[in-house]
Amino acid sequence: MSSRPNQLAIETRVIHAGQQPDPLTGAVVQPIYTASTFVQDGIGKNKGYMYSRSGNPTRATLEACLADLEGGRAAYAFPTGLSAAATILELMDAGAHIVAHHDVYGGIYRLLSKVRNRSAGLKVDFVNFADVAALRRTVTAETRLLWFETPSNPLLEIVDIAEVVKIARERGALTVCDNTFSSPCCQRPLEMGVDIVMHSATKFLNGHSDLLAGVVALSNSVPDDLAEQLGFLQNSVGAVLDPVSCATLLRSLKTLAVRMDRHVENAARIAEFLDRNRARLGIERLIFPGLPDHPGHEIARRQMKGFGSMISFAVSGGQARANQVAQNLDLFAYAVSLGGVESLIQHPASMTHKVVPLEQREKLGITDNLLRVSVGIENAADLIADLERALSR
């Protein structure tokens, strides 16, 4: 979309950004161009498209919408969140030093420490980004990239985005924020100085648990050569989202703002209920950035709009009771993933974070009695009644 988008509110942009009625037919919804190849008008002459890996009109529409929503200069749509992350890492030269937050999505941890350390010689240090002094000690003049999530997964730690940006700029490193848990409705890292935002669009952006996708969005302040390089790498590696999924994601984005409002509201109500009944329901540890006792609460208030809809809690009675609680729930499906309209519950130590070595898990607090909830957009009272029943049995 040309000149207007950023003056409009996000509720409007999720519906209109990057999209106009189809000039050929007037269709109000973007056509799905499934063609793999496009007829050329002559040598060096085409209508902007040649081959769908290097460019596809449906994907271009989605990417324009996503760039607008994150407030960036460009966005790229990938088949999964991990392929988006892997392509960002292709920006690094072999042997580069990367510093990553110690609590990241298990798959990102695996990609960094079990794949790219070997295949690209990346040297990765994991450190607690919430500990600014420790971060300062770990980031050197050699460091090329700082990688973090906030809220993090599954411990919902809050990283001070402005502080990380400051350190990265002092040392000349790029910053990557995985904004999956917040979506651009709740948190806007590019507008806070982050260079690159990535998403598993599989989660809140799509929101219906029926598609895998990933996104990379680049800040307006990254140089032209970096933006060109990312497009070059996406085409070179071949990690592109297919046109049907692009159209599905465009459709899902239209309700992102209303979905996020309800997610945020439901999670706040559930966290408040669990907090009030901690002792009675046998909750040993309750983690939600919206609670005043969360160590990152003040920072979250500053840098987020709403606190997202992820809640983690550890139950008394160890793994056996954690399993029992998860199985006793009716409305919360026992499944990995998050950000869908339906509520989910999972056990990080045996599911999403199994790949993290036991010693590291224990150090972090990903204990055997920890459960992570993704609060959906069902009726909050129904969800609370379900939790009450499962936890008081």
Ligand X SMILES: *Cc1c(COP(=O)(O)O)cnc(C)c1O
Active site includes 203? yes
The DSSP-derived string for 27-96 is: -SS------SB---SBTTB-SS-SBTTT--HHHHHHHHHHHHHHT-SEEEEESSHHHHHHHHHTTSPTT-
Q: Which stretch binds ligand X (CB under 6 A): 37-45, 177-185, 273-281, 369-377?
A: 177-185
Q: Which of 116, 188, 203, 361 is catalytic?
A: 203
Residue 178 as a binder of ligand X (CB under 6 A): the answer is yes
Active site includes 105? yes
Q: Which stretch binds ligand X (CB under 6 A): 196-204, 324-332, 341-349, 364-372?
A: 196-204
Q: Which stretch binds ligand X (CB under 6 A): 5-13, 25-33, 131-139, 199-207?
A: 199-207
Q: Which of 68, 103, 160, 178 is catalytic?
A: 178
| Nearer Cβ to ligand X (109/313) | 109
Burial class (CB in 10 A: 0-12, 13-18, 19+), 107: middle
| Nearer Cβ to ligand X (80/277) | 80
Q: Which stretch binds ligand X (CB under 6 A): 39-47, 100-108, 249-257, 316-324?
A: 100-108
Structure tokens at 312: 């983690």
| Complete edge-to-edge strand list for the sheet that includes strand 143-149 | 74-78, 214-218, 196-200, 174-178, 143-149, 97-101, 123-127
Q: State the binding string over 53-92 for ligand X (x if CB under 6 A, else -).
A: ---------------------------xxx----------
Residue 101 as a binder of ligand X (CB under 6 A): the answer is no
Residue 184 as a binder of ligand X (CB under 6 A): the answer is no
Total residues at interface with ligand X (CB under 6 A): 16
Residue 108 as a binder of ligand X (CB under 6 A): the answer is yes
- Phi-psi label, residue 47: left if phi above 0, alpha if psi -120 to 50, beta otherwise: alpha
For residues 319 and 41, give the distance between their C-alpha atoms in angstroms, rounded to a whole number. 65
For residues 355 and 158, give the distance between their C-alpha atoms in angstroms, rounded to a whole number. 22
Name the residue whose CB lies closest to ligand X. 81
Residue 203 as a binder of ligand X (CB under 6 A): the answer is yes
Residue 240 as a binder of ligand X (CB under 6 A): the answer is no
- In eight-state DSSP terms, residue 5 is G
CA dihedral 352, 356, 358, 363 (to 10 degrees): -100
Packing angle between helix 380-392 and helix 318-328, nearest 10 degrees? Answer: 140
Residue 242 as a binder of ligand X (CB under 6 A): the answer is no
Structure tokens at 328: 């006793």
- Which run of H or of E encompasses 128? none
Residue 179 as a binder of ligand X (CB under 6 A): the answer is no
Residue 111 as a binder of ligand X (CB under 6 A): the answer is no
Catalytic residues: 53, 105, 178, 203
The residue ranges that bind ligand X (CB under 6 A) are 80-82, 105, 107-108, 149, 153, 178, 180-181, 200, 202-203, 212, 214
